Amino acid sequence: MAAIVEGEGRAAASRGVAVLLPLPLERPYDYRVPDGDLPAPGALVRVPLGKRDVVGVVWGPATGEVEPARLRDVIEVLPLPPLTAELRALVDWTARYTLSPAGAVLRMALSVPSAFDAPKVPLGYRRAALPPPAGMKLTPARERVLAIASSRAVPLGELATAAQVTPSVVSALAKAGVLERAPVASGAVFAAPDWRKGGVRLTPDQRAAADSLIANANGFSVTLLDGVTGSGKTEVYFEAIAAALAAGKEAVVLLPEIALTAQWLARFQARFGVAPAEWHSDLGTALRRETWRAVAGGQARVVVGARSALFLPFPDLGLIVVDEEHDSSFKQEDGVIYNARDIAVVRGRLAQIPVVLASATPSLETVINVERGRYKRIVLPERFAGAKQPEVRIADMRIEKLPRQNFLGSALRTALGENLAAGEQSMLFLNRRGYAPLTLCRSCGHRIECRNCSTWLVEHRLVGRLLCHHCGHSEGLPIACPSCGAAESFAACGPGVERLEEEVAALLPAARLAVVTSDTVGSPAAAAEFVRQVTEREIDVLIGTQIVAKGHHFPLLTLVGIVDADLGLAGGDLRAAERTFQVLHQVAGRAGREQRPGRVIVQSYMPEHPVIAALAANDRDRFMAEEAKNREERGMPPYGRLAALIVSGPDHATVDTMASALARTAPRDDGIEVWGPAEAPLRLLRGRHRRRLLLTAARDIDVPETMRSWLARVPPMSGVRVQVDIDPYSFL
Ligand SMILES: [Zn+2]
Ligand SMILES: [Zn+2]
């Protein structure tokens, strides 16, 4: 009898599968498959969870942890292609490495609300076959509506805006039967890129580089495509994309600032005849859903996107390109904390496909991987179309006698004037949004701090408010000082881009200026409009944060002024010097990309600093060698490993208790040191008190495993969050 029951139990268990849900859960849960074939691993299934339904992914056979009789049933297997074994392995790998719940990582691969429902088609208005009724007069407004809706259905709002009429004009036409309701086509087309089309003629160097990339097309490899700004890296890796397409595979390109890719998209279109699919946070829900489905179904052959594009469900991915691989925005700092550049290499290895890392200023990590023989390197030596490298001059600001609250030295002022007179464009770089970094009371010295964070509020005159750059809190500038009551006593201290604009306007009243920050060109449309204005010479001087440094090609831009080159060098950030060099080099690379020679003026109070000196000498390799020596002496990455713990909570006493408990149980193995707990530089963020611990380890230590067993020794405390950041980039 017992044997029969046991046999039945096994039969029931064999009708089960383990399903991973896109929720912050560590492991898959078992579900029963009531009838039909068992869904294969990777299949998307709808299952009950509590009182609701969730779409998850079959992760393997049932674990048997729950008695078969208590299992709930899989509701349905969705008619979508299964996630590949390679993508499932990537989810598991990322979860293990970052110490994140596997379900939270899966969520990045399925981050598409309602992607799994049958698409709902919205209705719009289209011109009906019927002529207008006899009594109806066709006013110009009505004619405009009918013209726009003559060939396709248009949503009401869009139709009214395009025809410059009120929605009631449209409704009246519908009521009269002249317009009819019809489904609106989404407009999303995922046309296949034509890899045979061919683009610009490659120089012999570029051709050779493209050929070596193509020669790596089979199997896993990582290649650093190393070339100065304007050397044609994009055109070269386009050839690798063409090779992947020719082999019937897909390609994904990760870019750091997806908002600013209009020029990249135009080049892609020129090479392949169609636009690629895009993947970033600005996609609307419907387009996001369709794009995800088109990727899963193999129709979207090339996707360009932000870091999250890396987790898309490509059926047969053949190439991963990470452009501007050194860019720190590839590091995601919340939720699952990961570096897309590094995970791209992991996906390449799991999928056994090539990965291309492109940069003019590769990260030290990548350069050392080349030196260790783990990555290949292809160097593109010349600037495209024979343009010359710009001349770089350091302006020593210690010998300048600048008037108070002025920030442009004499060299830069003169050069700006000359450039305007010559009809050429200039760019000023200052990595500070807003008007001034600090606002303080002239009577008592009171500074306005964010109520949620331990930072000063930044005045933004464009919107007439004080903003916190960390939590987004904003408030009006008080009329009276909250501390001493003095009226209109607040003064702006230091420069922001908006203030620099004032200084340039006073210097060159005739110049047309544009401030370029995430505040002004934050959307793809605004970014495209900005690029158009510069290209069509509607702007003489650009004043911007690092957002202006990314990937643009402006032929008439011949002067770049770096207003405060020392800004990124302060502070205890491991990569501060490297990042400063990269940004400065990139900004400098904007100048004189075509036939006109470019000039760069670098304002600095410490011209002998190795970063500034290397920049003046335009000597990247010297800078990298200095930086490598520094890091090696201190056992810092890539010569050692780092992991950070960030302990935070609304109550600082419990946060301290938790941080001390972590310090007491810290690993003491050879080759490991733990620092802290220390107050985080941002000791208060969004109302949470923060403490940090930092673990440094020798290169051969399994840091994720060390962190896992460390955390397992400390029971969780309610109201306290412990975030793990493996390979941290931010030390705030
Ligand atoms: Zn005051
Ligand atoms: Zn804040």
488 alpha carbon to ligand 1 midpoint, in Å? 9
Ligand sitting nearest the alpha carbon of 441: 1
**Ligand 1 centroid to residue 458 C-alpha, Å:** 17
Q: What ligand is nearest to the CA atom of residue 470?
A: 2
**Distance between Cα 478 and ligand 1 center (Å):** 11
- Closest by CA to 516, choosing from 494, 503, 533, 537, is 533
The separation between the first and the last C-alpha atoms of the chain, rounded to the nearest angstrom, is 65
Average pLDDT, integer, range 52-81 = 91
Q: How far is the CA of 334 from the centre of ligand 1 (A)?
A: 37
Taking 60 as the threshold, does the pLDDT of residue 4 lie above it?
no
pLDDT of residue 619: 82
Please report which confidence band the pLDDT of residue 172 belongs to, taking 50, 70 and 90 as the band edges. confident
Counting ligands in written order, the one closest to the CA of 478 is 1
* Three-class secondary structure of residue 376 per DSSP: strand
Which tokens in the block code for residue 343? 């995970």
Q: What's the rounded mean pLDDT across residues 272-291?
A: 86
Strand partners, 513: 541
Q: How confident is the model at residue 383 (pLDDT cuts 50, 70, 90)?
A: low
CA atoms of 515 and 509, how far apart (whole Å)? 15
Mean pLDDT computed over 210-218: 92
Ligand closest in space to the Cα of 466: 2
**Residues 557 and 531 sit within 8 Å (Cβ to Cβ):** no
**What is the widest separation between alpha-carbon atoms in the chain?**
100
Starting from the CA of residue 444, give the closest ligand.
1
- Extract long-range pairs of 96-101: CB within 8 Å, 24+ residues apart: 96/704, 97/338, 97/346, 97/704, 97/726, 98/336, 98/337, 98/338, 98/704, 98/724, 98/726, 99/704, 99/707, 99/708, 99/711, 99/724, 99/726, 100/335, 100/336, 100/337, 100/338, 101/24, 101/25, 101/26
Higher confidence at residue 102 or residue 334?
102
- Distance from residue 470's CA to the centre of ligand 2 (Å): 5
Beta strands 438-441 and 557-562, pairing class = unpaired
Query: Which of the listed ranges 258-262, 518-522, 574-578, 659-663 does the model predict with the highest average pLDDT?
Result: 659-663
Question: Quick check: 6 pLDDT over 50?
Answer: no
Among the bound ligands, the one closest to the CA of 487: 1
Q: Is the pLDDT of residue 694 over 80?
A: yes
Q: Report how far ligand 2's centroid is from the alpha carbon of 676 (Å).
A: 24
CA of 329 to the centre of ligand 1 (A): 38
pLDDT band at 60 (very low <50, low <70, confident <90, very high): very high
Query: CA-CA distance, 719 to 725, in Å (whole number)?
Result: 19
Q: Both tokens of residue 56?
A: 């998850």
Q: What is the mean pLDDT of residues 79-107?
A: 95
Q: Does an H or E element contain 600, and which?
A: strand 599-604
Calculate how far, in angstroms, residue 405's C-alpha sits from the geometric centre of ligand 1. Answer: 20
* pLDDT of the residue at 314: 96
CA of 514 to the centre of ligand 2 (A): 27
Relative to the alpha carbon of 449, which ligand is closest? Answer: 2
Ligand 2 center to 438 CA (angstroms): 14
pLDDT at 49: 93
* Bond before 677 cis per omega within 30 degrees: yes
Q: Cα-flanking dihedrals φ and ψ of residue 27, to 5°?
A: -135, 165
Cα of 730 from ligand 2 centre, angstroms: 17
Query: How far is ligand 2, taken at its centre, from the CA of residue 639, in Å?
Result: 35
Beta strands in 269-363 (DSSP E): 277-279, 302-305, 317-323, 331-332, 338-339, 354-359
Q: Which pLDDT band, with edges at 50, 70 and 90, does 591 fall under?
A: low
What is the number of the ligand closest to the CA of 448? 1
Task: Measure 705 CA to ligand 2 centroid, in angstroms.
Answer: 34
The pLDDT tens digits of the residues spanning 421-468 come to 999 999 998 888 889 888 888 888 898 888 888 888 888 888 888 988
Q: How far is the CA of 683 from the centre of ligand 1 (A)?
A: 24
C-alpha 688 – ligand 2 centre gap (Å): 10
Question: CA torsion, points 720, 91, 82, 308, in degrees to nearest 10?
Answer: 80
Amino acid sitting at position 557: L
> 666 vs 427, 503, 708, CA distance in Å?
49, 53, 11
Residue 269 CA, chain-centre distance (Å), reads 22
Instruction: Tell me what the mean pLDDT of segment 571-598 comes to.
Output: 72
The rounded Å distance from CA 265 to ligand 2 centre is 36
Residue 244 has pLDDT above 90, yes or no: yes
pLDDT for residue 10: 46
Cα angle: 461, vertex 462, 464; to 5 degrees:
50
Q: DSSP letter at 178?
A: S
Band (116; pLDDT cuts 50, 70, 90): low
Cα 111 to ligand 1 centroid, rounded to whole Å? 48
Distance between Cα 451 and ligand 2 center (Å) = 6
pLDDT band, very low/low/confident/very high, at 402 (cuts 50, 70, 90): confident
Centre of ligand 2 from the C-alpha of residue 464, in Å: 17
Query: Cα of 461 to ligand 1 centre, how many Å?
Result: 21
Question: Phi and psi dihedrals of 361, rounded to 5?
Answer: -135, 70
Distance in Å, CA 477 to ligand 1 centroid: 13
- Tell me: pLDDT of 1 over 60: no
Mean pLDDT of the chain: 87
Spacing, Cα 454 to ligand 2 middle (Å): 7
Answer whether 635's CB lies under 8 Å from 700's CB: no
Q: Is the dihedral of CA 646, 649, 650, 651 positive or negative?
A: negative
Q: Tell me the residue type at 421.
A: A
Ligand showing the shortest atom-to-Cα distance for residue 682: 2
pLDDT of residue 12: 45
**Ligand 1 centre distance from Cα of residue 439 (Å):** 11
**Residue recorded with tokens 């859960």:** 25
Q: How far is the CA of 453 from the centre of ligand 2 (A)?
A: 4
Convert the pLDDT of each residue in 478-537 to its tens digit: 889 988 999 888 888 888 999 999 999 999 999 999 998 877 877 767 777 888 888 899
Question: Which ligand is nearest the CA of 451, by number?
Answer: 2
Residue 13 has pLDDT above 50, yes or no: no
The pLDDT score that the predictor gives to residue 342 is 96
Say if residue 385's pLDDT is above 60.
no
- pLDDT value at residue 594: 58
Ligand nearest to the CA of 481: 1
The pLDDT-based confidence of 199 (bands split at 50, 70, 90) is confident
Span from the CA of 686 to the centroid of ligand 2 (angstroms) = 6
